[in-house]
A and B are shown apart, each in its own frame.
Chain A
Amino acid sequence: GAVVSQHPSWVICKSGTSVKIECRSLDFQATTMFWYRQFPKQSLMLMATSNEGSKATYEQGVEKDKFLINHASLTLSTLTVTSAHPEDSSFYICSAREDILYEQYFGPGTRLTVT
């Protein structure tokens, strides 16, 4: 099956610093990747859609200057949380969509804690 990796799996950072999360599709090319956030016992919340070679499309209410997304290649997308604050602490999950059946495969997620 299709594999998506995500790095790091967990990170602790101080308030005011920036954190970069990488998402890679390992065995297929993904024109489109997605970034989600999930709080404990809550639903997945789509943050943005990332298309290779173009600017990301952010969902309403998501600050594009705070959550910087770069989809540099067909196998790599990055999410940078800038000037992180404790309220940004969450489980961030990426997914990559293959281009034939449009199936989405999720990375294992990154647990971010901002102190």
Chain B
Amino acid sequence: QKEVEQNSGPLSVPEGAIASLNCTYSDRVSQSFFWYRQYSGKSPELIMSIYSNGDKEDGRFTAQLNKASQYVSLLIRDSQPSDSATYLCAVSTNAGKSTFGDGTTLTVKP
């Protein structure tokens, strides 16, 4: 079992829809959770960080964390074609290195 698991996709949604990206992790002492976006041929870009249970919203993005279920998700509202990218989930214990999932490829169709 991988330490951080994501559906590889591809996930395809129509423009304007909500895209839902999921991630599970195995280390129960994990304390920091991150979502990165990576466009093809580019390096990852941090888009959301979440540290406590519940929802965290930033613009069209909402991160959700449930530590009891070891589950973190990212919702993208009003998806745009420019959101088409690979989304990486990363999990770390504080001061430890982050463990990245393999990523979910999202395609938003006009």
| Contact A102/B43 with A44-B88, A44-B100 known, Cβ cut-off 8 Å | no
Judging by beta carbons under 8 Å apart, are A106 and B97 in contact?
no
Judging by beta carbons under 8 Å apart, are B102 and A43 in contact?
yes
Judging by beta carbons under 8 Å apart, are B92 and A106 in contact?
no
User: Which of B12-20, B44-52, B60-68, B69-77 is found at the contact surface with chain A?
Assistant: B44-52
A93 closest partner in B (C-beta): B43
Q: Which residues of B contact A46 (CB under 8 A)?
A: 97, 100
Bound CA span A34–B97, Å: 9
Judging by beta carbons under 8 Å apart, are A109 and B42 in contact?
yes
Judging by beta carbons under 8 Å apart, are A44 and B44 in contact?
yes
Bound CA span A49–B98, Å: 11
Judging by beta carbons under 8 Å apart, are B43 and A104 in contact?
no
Judging by beta carbons under 8 Å apart, are A102 and B45 in contact?
no
Judging by beta carbons under 8 Å apart, are A106 and B43 in contact?
yes
Judging by beta carbons under 8 Å apart, are B94 and A106 in contact?
no
Judging by beta carbons under 8 Å apart, are B102 and A104 in contact?
no
Q: Is B34 an interface residue (CB 8 A)?
A: yes
Q: Which residues of B contact A93 (CB under 8 A)?
A: 43-44
A94 closest partner in B (C-beta): B43
Q: Is A103 an interface residue (CB 8 A)?
A: yes
Q: Which residues of B contact A106 (CB under 8 A)?
A: 36, 43-46
Bound CA span A46–B88, Å: 14
Q: 1/0 contact trace for B84-95 toward A, CB 8 Å?
A: 000010101011
Judging by beta carbons under 8 Å apart, are B46 and A105 in contact?
yes
Q: Is B22 an interface residue (CB 8 A)?
A: no
Q: Chain B's nearest CB lies how many Å from the CB of A38?
A: 9
By a beta-carbon cutoff of 8 Å, the part of chain A in contact with chain B is 1, 32, 34, 43-44, 46, 49, 93, 95, 101-109
Given contacts A32-B97, A102-B92, 7 further A-B contacts (CB under 8 A): A1-B46, A44-B44, A102-B94, A102-B95, A104-B46, A106-B45, A106-B46
